[in-house]
Structure 1
């Protein structure tokens, strides 16, 4: 049986009460909390959480990677409150048709001032409302609560994935065991803790191993480099994060204590991997998985070189098989189906789709060599990867289509310089609306990273014989 979050906090607070458990970095400086302080604060939040609205839906937690946010997350989970994690930089709370609203949240908890930028239909509380004041009854936490996360929305609007807290803790054990994390490590998470990579590979793995956790309240390269100099031994980042680190450094290697660097959030190109490895002095390891399944495969430290293009071997507790797929021209490739030790409990609006026997169809085309190395041939995902953030083009289309003079809209990703993607929008307009006005409309309803980088005004959208918009023609005609 996996230990509960409170069990883990108690263990570390009793063994190393004065050791730093978590440090959060911001442009204004760093703040820290010891294991004893973190346990006391999370337990107090758990007591206060009993006074939150008892609505049918989860508590929405706006995650900014701060110590207050981490304390509230742990406290809500200890109190067995269902929690839906969303990034601090999001437009979901202002979009009343988003998955967040469909979850019918009981309330929203987040940084101070959040209510001024979001819908008035929701009840808002600041982190301070739960981290200060009377603490209520002592915490007696278990693993019965659920953590909800938003999918990337790769095949439509985002859905909400349900994971038990026990599942999250189990995922932390897997990261600890695969990568040899111990209490002497400092795990530096440069990605949002709302994402599975940050939540499980960062927070849960640190809690399980007793490692110190470093976070960024928002991505800032200067603060990130300071964190590397502050004793980080393990780092979690995205391909874009590693490219920025490599580009910002001098020709010499970046001064750090890193022994392990993990990348997720998109494919890690050989160019970025080599460039970052040169600057950091260690190889960058790829993590392959999903919100639904947790870690599926990864590379890790070993004496034998990994084959070029491989995302590693399957992780502990992963069963897999391949299904034939007519869309591939590779005879040795197939669609990957997996069953993992950290499989999700289903979507909030339905059960878990599977291919029988509890297997989940990733939709990705893969091949596996005779030594068990996994290679991703093609991904099912239609999302646009902007700096490690997976943007759902269908949702952006829906928001832009609300403009009164947009007759048709197609949003898609196109390659930009380097290995990054840009958001493009092809629109059929009526009336006198121009690109500048349309972009102002987008900025009023979307986060900056969701706003299209390029808008193409067209007389009509190219379509296939089946009537579907041909994204390939849009890309080809505007290359």
Structure 2
């Protein structure tokens, strides 16, 4: 069967819901008819710009920009030209972008016009007429790897431990993710979704973009710092019925002094990307009377589970339509979650064979998440690769992090494996404080709550934990941050207060 093409799906939706509001950003509103018209006109402009010069036709274009009306227009315009959009995290730096240039053959980047002169790769900058983006063209790095014939969109893993892997998705996979989200969560044309996650991440891409268009719903985009007051104002002004965000947003809102009426029309809050602390959930729901529904997704597989039951507060929900979960016992005694979905990526463009190698004989993807099912509901308890082996003892970093994060004055904390002067593995805790803290405070908070061998041997205080747009720790950047803070000694006694990152 011929693969589903995304451009006709979007155009059909725009024609069917022509008079409804499709996009809202601040005071700017676009109806579905206007969305179709403006993206079509932009497609002509981009087609002309990308075909300029004597080189080969650029069939792949990276969108490396923040969420905005211009972002959605550029994305839809690229689909209309028949090109493949590569959705690139704005948090990526020179190393990641260079890897995308050389490993994926991307030589054209659409970026926010105001930041084009600071784009990390050298290239030619051309403003896009009538829009908020600029086109940066860079030098090619040899023959690009061929895309699969049915690839419609490419997104990237977070690159937390190295080069981001480029995921190829067919149009059928993207459509299936959106359709199954609509069916599995009850999204309809009366909904207004306020999206605080970047479209480069599956949380936003799968829950907010095409899914909204399929049913004629309204998508609300947030600009500016995501402070509690700004978020509340965006919810109130837009009349949003759904909020899509990472746990840090809910933590900020729960700890704020906002009047509960500011979120009065909100029916559902959706959280994913990291574990939502039980105390954050309880405080948010008690204050605002809005349920937080957990969503579990995998970059390589799309949306997987959603908590449909309003009265349930444990686990990560049950499988969405088109999703099958299969727990499998490992030789080490743990149970890994395997899954198969209708929205699976086809492969990694820049790592041939690696994705295929994570599939079992039945096509189930090995997630690397440890967990189990109870009455069909998914519980994730740890990571296969995340376990630290300390002299034969297995330590789950998340267990230690939860204890440290509960210490008064700790805003964020990450445990990672380090080595001492003798090359032996040690437990190193990076901590962000809300007030001056000392190593002794952290150790005192761990002792009695953790086995002695789980207590961190090293503690470093940093201004901020480097994270991707999905909230995942960028471990290489974290190691560099910790190294830079070592000037005050191996365990800095008084942390520098940093601003809270909520990208």
Match for residue 58 of structure 1 among 53, 60, 64: 60
Structure 1 counterpart of 2:44: 47
Is the counterpart of residue 199 in structure 1 residue 205 in structure 2? yes
Structure 1 counterpart of 2:111: 110
1:214 offset after TM fit, Å? Answer: 0.3
Distance in 2 (CA, whole Å) between partners of 1:364 and 1:256 is: 36
| TM-superposition CA deviations, 1:266-312 (whole Å, max 9, x none) | 1112111112212331210111111100112221245xx32x53111
Residue aligned with 2:164, SS: coil
Distance in 1 (CA, whole Å) between partners of 2:300 and 2:247 is: 21
| TM-superposition CA deviations, 1:178-220 (whole Å, max 9, x none) | 1111111101101111111111111121111110000113442
Shift in CA distance, 227/130, structure 1 to aligned 2, threshold 3 Å: closer
Structure 2 counterpart of 1:232: 240
Match for residue 192 of structure 2 among 186, 193, 203: 186
Match for residue 163 of structure 1 among 155, 158, 169: 169
Shift in CA distance, 273/296, structure 1 to aligned 2, threshold 3 Å: same
Using the size of structure 2 for normalisation, the TM-score is 0.69
Residue aligned with 1:376, SS: strand
Distance in 2 (CA, whole Å) between partners of 1:169 and 1:67 is: 21
* Equivalent residue pairs, number: 404
Distance in 1 (CA, whole Å) between partners of 2:323 and 2:234 is: 33
Shift in CA distance, 154/95, structure 1 to aligned 2, threshold 3 Å: closer
Q: Which runs of structure 2 are paired with 1:148-297 in the superposition (5 Å)?
A: 148-153=154-159, 156-221=162-227, 222-229=229-236, 230-250=238-258, 252=260, 254-297=262-305
Structure 1 counterpart of 2:324: 319
Is the counterpart of residue 379 in structure 1 residue 379 in structure 2? no
Residue aligned with 1:311, SS: coil
Shift in CA distance, 169/381, structure 1 to aligned 2, threshold 3 Å: farther
Please tell me whether the aligned partners of residues 70 and 131 of structure 2 are also in contact (alpha carbons under 8 angstroms): no
Q: Which runs of structure 2 are paired with 1:366-405 in the superposition (5 Å)?
A: 366-369=371-374, 371-380=375-384, 382=386
Please tell me whether the aligned partners of residues 80 and 145 of structure 1 are also in contact (alpha carbons under 8 angstroms): no
Distance in 1 (CA, whole Å) between partners of 2:303 and 2:288 is: 24
Question: Which runs of 5 or more structure 2 residues have no equivalent in the other structure?
Answer: 134-148, 387-396, 406-411, 419-424, 435-459, 467-472, 492-503
Question: Which runs of 5 or more structure 1 residues have no equivalent in the other structure?
Answer: 133-142, 398-408, 419-434, 443-448, 462-473, 475-479
Is the counterpart of residue 298 in structure 1 residue 309 in structure 2? no
Deviates more, 1:181-190 or 1:5-14: 5-14
Please tell me whether the aligned partners of residues 3 and 150 of structure 2 are also in contact (alpha carbons under 8 angstroms): no
Structure 1 counterpart of 2:338: 337
Shift in CA distance, 360/413, structure 1 to aligned 2, threshold 3 Å: farther
Structure 1 counterpart of 2:74: 72
Distance in 2 (CA, whole Å) between partners of 1:154 and 1:321 is: 26
Shift in CA distance, 5/357, structure 1 to aligned 2, threshold 3 Å: same
Shift in CA distance, 110/96, structure 1 to aligned 2, threshold 3 Å: closer
| TM-superposition CA deviations, 1:356-401 (whole Å, max 9, x none) | 22221101111112x1111111124659999xx9x9x99xx9xxxx
Shift in CA distance, 151/412, structure 1 to aligned 2, threshold 3 Å: farther
Residue aligned with 1:69, SS: helix
1:100 offset after TM fit, Å? Answer: 4.9
